[in-house]
Structure 1
Amino acid sequence: MTTPNLTERQQKTLDFLREYLQTEGLPPTLREIADALGFPSHSSAQACVESLVRKGVLERSPQHRGLRLPSGNVAAIRAATLNELPLIGRVAAGSPILAEENIESQLEIDPAMFHPRADYLLRVVGMSMRDVGILDGDLLAVHRTATANDGQIVVARLDDEVTVKRLRHERDRLLLLPENPDFRPIEVDPRRHAFAIEGRYVGIIRRT
């Protein structure tokens, strides 16, 4: 199971819902979603929300306002509200990155220290990003997003593996570039690989 591909509007809506939950403790109304994101009507906002529900990144609940994030997202929201971040260790094959079984602990780190706001920490394994100062054992602060610009450092899922690399688009191919000459670039072939961006690098924490 990979992270569903979201359109730019769907991702912006999901990000708005997540941030609203962090600050308000309850989901926004359709009017608030439409006003904040410039939807032409409430029905357009509702259609986008329904798409997120169908893709499994949003759930309906019987409570007032009736929207909630799946359990892995709930852990991240709770942690961010308490000025904590979930620390992700080894990611189990096929599981969402914020699934409970992947969370080693909650660390008392304010997500607002980073811009954009960090959603989780990922323990770095290996030295493939050494030359940009990302070392084995570092804690990578990650803003959760399904999209990234060319040249940004991302957390990517390739089949059942999660890796930290620099994203590069070249004509009709996608590359994941290391920052260490001892490692080779990874070429992503969508015909053979299940690929998804799990987040974007926004900072580093080195524990001495």
Structure 2
Amino acid sequence: MSKDPLTQRQNRAYDFIEQYLNRHRKPPTLQEIGDALGISSTNGVYKLLQKLEQKGWIEREKHKARSIRLTDQDQTALGRDGGAPSLPIVSRTPSDHPDRLRERPTGTLSVDRQLLRNARDPNACLLGRAGDDGMNETGIQKGDLLLIEEMEWDDLGNRTLAAVLLQDQLLAREFEFANRKIHLRPATPHYAEETFSPTDSDYYVIGRVLGLLRTL
């Protein structure tokens, strides 16, 4: 089932809920969400959760303090082909430890070799879930499985669609190197452009995006 795209603030709320559930095995309260996002009013948090629910990202049970359930728990059963390459689906990885990208995958997925026909090195390919809707205008939605070919940032041409780690989020962005800075540009207007020095550890360019896979 498709979902409506999230704003940057809504995406931060969703990510906090997801991480809280993974860490504590129970959903956060309104107060805990507000504290994490800097929202002083529980009514403000309530309205934010309403938007997430209306857009299809969470479900809630009325009159319960901890009643949030994510509607998009990891679903990797997309089928297998005996002769098809099996690619890792990378787990959440901090940008200052990119060596961990393949260490603990959330699963693997066999893909048609035709999807890798434009890869320079098919063995350098992996899958990762888009962490926000910053490239929604180009058809990439939060939760889509991105097919990524790992490569160094200085091997990418300007305006290449790249997969990057921004802190511990895996995102798709348009890449450009100009004025000795790396620019990571979203396509959706209410997301901000990020600019980094090539030596900054708050970001890491994984490589170029070859395509995406989506369940409906």
The two structures have a TM-score, normalised by structure 1, of 0.53
Shift of residue 162, structure 1, vs aligned partner:
4.0
- Residue 121 of structure 1 aligns to a residue whose secondary structure is strand
Structure 1 unaligned segments of length 5 or more: list them.
1-80
Aligned partner of 1:141: which letter? Answer: L
Equivalent residue in structure 1 for 2:133, among 127, 131, 134: 127
Shift of residue 108, structure 1, vs aligned partner:
1.8
Contact 1:111/1:119 (CA < 8 Å) preserved in 2? no
The answer to whether the aligner puts 1:98 opposite 2:101 as a matched pair is yes
Structure 2 unaligned segments of length 5 or more: list them.
1-82
The equivalent of 1:197 in structure 2 is 205
Distance in structure 2 (CA, Å) of the matches to 1:156 and 1:186: 11
Equivalent residue in structure 2 for 1:141, among 134, 144, 147: 147
Shift of residue 97, structure 1, vs aligned partner:
4.7
Structure 1 vs Structure 2 CA RMSD: 2.8
Contact 2:130/2:170 (CA < 8 Å) preserved in 1? no
1:1-208 to structure 2, matched below 5 A, reads: 83-92=85-94, 94-101=97-104, 103-114=105-116, 115-116=118-119, 117=122, 119-146=125-152, 147-158=155-166, 162-190=170-198, 192-193=200-201, 195-208=203-216
| Percent identical | 21
Aligned partner of 1:138: which letter? Answer: D
Contact 2:92/2:168 (CA < 8 Å) preserved in 1? no
Distance in structure 2 (CA, Å) of the matches to 1:152 and 1:192: 20
Shift of residue 173, structure 1, vs aligned partner:
2.4
The two structures have a TM-score, normalised by structure 2, of 0.52
The size of the alignment, in residue pairs, is 129
Aligned partner of 2:150: which letter? Answer: R
Shift of residue 199, structure 1, vs aligned partner:
1.3
Distance in structure 1 (CA, Å) of the matches to 2:102 and 2:93: 9
Aligned partner of 1:153: which letter? Answer: L
Shift of residue 88, structure 1, vs aligned partner:
1.4
Contact 2:84/2:113 (CA < 8 Å) preserved in 1? no
Q: 1:193 to 1:96 in 2, by over 3 A?
A: closer
CA offsets per residue over residues 163-190 of structure 1, 9 Å max, x none? 3211112233221000100111001134
Q: 1:112 to 1:183 in 2, by over 3 A?
A: same
Contact 2:90/2:102 (CA < 8 Å) preserved in 1? no
Q: 1:86 to 1:193 in 2, by over 3 A?
A: closer
Contact 1:85/1:110 (CA < 8 Å) preserved in 2? no
Aligned partner of 1:122: which letter? Answer: G
Distance in structure 1 (CA, Å) of the matches to 2:140 and 2:100: 20
Contact 1:88/1:121 (CA < 8 Å) preserved in 2? yes
Distance in structure 1 (CA, Å) of the matches to 2:94 and 2:204: 15
